Structure 1
Amino acid sequence: MPSPSPQTSVLVVQLSDSHLFAEAEGSLLGMNTRDSLQRVIDTVLAEQPAIDLVVASGDLSQDGTLQSYQAFRDLSARINAPAHWFAGNHDEMPQMAQAAAGGDFLEPVIDVGEWRITLLNSAVSGSVPGYLADDQLQLLAQSLSEAPDRHHLVCLHHHPVSIDCKWMEPIGLRNPHALFDVLDRFPQVKALLWGHIHQDFNSERNGVQLIASPSTCIQFKPRSEDFALDELAPGYRWLRLFNDGHLETGVSRVTGHQFTVDLTGEGY
C-alpha cells in the first residue's frame, strides 16, 4: 500500500459552550440554547460533508442535569462521526458520565489520521476559573511522549493566555505555566484549542497555534472591560489536520435566522 500523501487530511468539528438545560425551552440571556445548537448542527451538516471527529469542548450543559447531556448526545448524533466530550466549569461530571454511558465520548486520547488529540479536564467543581490537576498534566505528558511521531492537538476548556478581555482575565486557567512547561518539551505539538470565551481567537506561541472558538449559543464581545454580549450569531469551528503536520481552521456561523439575545445581561 502506498504511503499517504502529505496533503491527506482529517476534518475535526468543534462544538463549544452549548449551555443546554433540562427543559427544551431553556434560555440563556434570551437565547434558547437547544434551538441554537440545532441550527449550528444544521449549518455543520450543510457545510461539512465528511467529518472525522467531533470535539465538544465543555459547558455542554448550563444546569448540569442528566437531561441536558442526553439532549446534547441526541442532537449531536445527527453528525455521523465519533464524538468526544470534556468538561467546562458549568458541567457536572457524574451526570455527564451517565449520559455518555455505552460510548467512548469521554475517552481523552484519540488518534485520527497522523494526529493525536488529547482532551484535558480543566474544570474544578464549584469554580468558574480552571486548573489542571497533576493527573491531567501527567495524562498530557504521557500522551505526548507515547506518540513522538504523531502531530498533536491539545484541547481544554479554559483559556491559558490573555485574550485582552478584562472581565475574563480572572476566570481562565489558573496554572497556565504548568501546561506550557509540558507543551514546551514536545516539538510535535502543533496547536492548543479551547472554548469558554464564546468568541473567535487565533494566536501563536513558540510555534504552537493558539485557538478558541465561538459558542453554539450566546457570544461574548471581544476586548470588553465588563461582561458584554456580541450580536454575532452562534457558530462552530472546523479544523483540517494534514498528514504533514500543518492545519487549516476557520469559524462558521448560522445565517438566515435572527436570534434573540438580551444585550443588557450582566452575567451568565
Structure 2
Amino acid sequence: MRLVQISDCHLCANPEARSRIGYPLHQLRAVVARARQLRPDIVLVTGDISQDESPAAYRHAYEVFSAFECPWFWMTGNHDHPEFMAELHPFHDELDLGEWRLLLLDSRVPGQAAGELGQGPLQDLAARLEEDDRPTLLAMHHPPLEIGSAWMDALGLADREALWQTLAAYGQVRAILCGHIHQAFAARHASSQGEIAVYGCPATADQFLPRQADFALDEASRPGFRVIDLEGERLSTWVERVDP
C-alpha cells in the first residue's frame, strides 16, 4: 500500500497568482505529475488547499487532483473554507488501508492560525481506537508537537498534551502525518506503549526555513510531497522534491 501526502498548496482564484517566491498552481501541477509517476494507491491532502478561500481556488485544486488514477482525499487547514471544499469533494474521517487504517482528525479552528482538536473529538478518537486494533495512522493539519521554530510552535496544536494523553493507552497508533509547517520533518514521541512517529510534509507552495525564531522562507528548498509505504506492519517513508 502506497500513500502519497500532499500539503499546503495555497492556491488563489487567479491561476497565475504568485506567492512570496513562486507560483502555487504551477508548482502543484508539477508535484502531482511527479507523484503520479510513483503510482500511489491513495492520496491525502492535509490542508491549506487555498490561500484566499475562494471557490475558484478549490476548483483549480479539484481539477489537478482528479488527474490521479487512485482515490484522493482532502482535509481542511487553517486557511480553508470547508463548505466550498465539500461542494466539490466529500470529507472522510477514516480510510481503510487494508492491514492498516487511517484516521483523519480536524484540527481547524475557524478564524485562528493555531489548531485544536477538542475534548469531544479526542473522546471520539479513543472510542474509534477501542474498536479496532489494526496498525493505525493519524492525520491532521497542525503538528502535534514542537518543531523547533518558535513562531510556528505558537501556531501548532494547542491541545497536543491532551492528544498524547489520549494516545498513551493505544499501542496501535504508529505515526501521525501533519501539514501546516511547510517543511520536511520527522520526530518521535515516546509513550507508555512505545514510540509514535510524527512526519511533516513539504508544501507544494513556499517552503519555511526550519528552526527559526521568526518567520523565514527557505528559498533554497523546492516543493515536495511525502511518500508512505505500508508493507505488513512495516512503515517506510521519504520525501520527494520537485523542480517547478
Q: TM-score range by the shorter chain?
A: over 0.9
Rg bigger for which structure? 1
TM-score, L = length of structure 1: 0.86
Unaligned segments of structure 2, at least 5 residues: none
Q: Tell whether 2:182 aligns with 1:198.
A: yes
How big is the shift at 1:27?
1.9
Q: d(CA) in 2 for partners of 1:133 and 1:196?
A: 18
Q: Which residue of 2 aligns with 1:164?
A: 148
Q: d(CA) in 2 for partners of 1:106 and 1:239?
A: 21
Q: Tell whether 2:17 aligns with 1:32.
A: no
Identity %: 36
**Matched AA of 1:108:** D
Counterpart of 1:152 (choices 136, 153, 158) is: 136
How big is the shift at 1:140?
1.7
Q: Which residue of 1 aligns with 2:223?
A: 234
**Matched AA of 2:127:** Q
Once superposed, which parts of structure 1, at least 4 consecutive aligned residues long, lie more than 3 Å away? none
Q: Tell whether 2:37 aligns with 1:43.
A: no
Q: Which residue of 2 aligns with 1:264?
A: none
Unaligned segments of structure 1, at least 5 residues: 1-9, 258-268
How big is the shift at 1:142?
2.6
How big is the shift at 1:55?
0.5
Q: Which residue of 2 aligns with 1:266?
A: none
Q: Tell whether 2:124 aligns with 1:124.
A: no
Q: Which residue of 2 aligns with 1:14?
A: 5
Q: d(CA) in 2 for partners of 1:71 and 1:137?
A: 33
How big is the shift at 1:143?
2.3
User: 1:1-268 residue pairs with structure 2 within 5 A?
Assistant: 10-46=1-37, 48-49=38-39, 51-100=40-89, 105-148=90-133, 150-206=134-190, 207-230=195-218, 231-243=220-232, 245-255=233-243, 257=244
How big is the shift at 1:216?
0.6
Aligned residues: 239
**Matched AA of 1:210:** V
How big is the shift at 1:63?
1.0
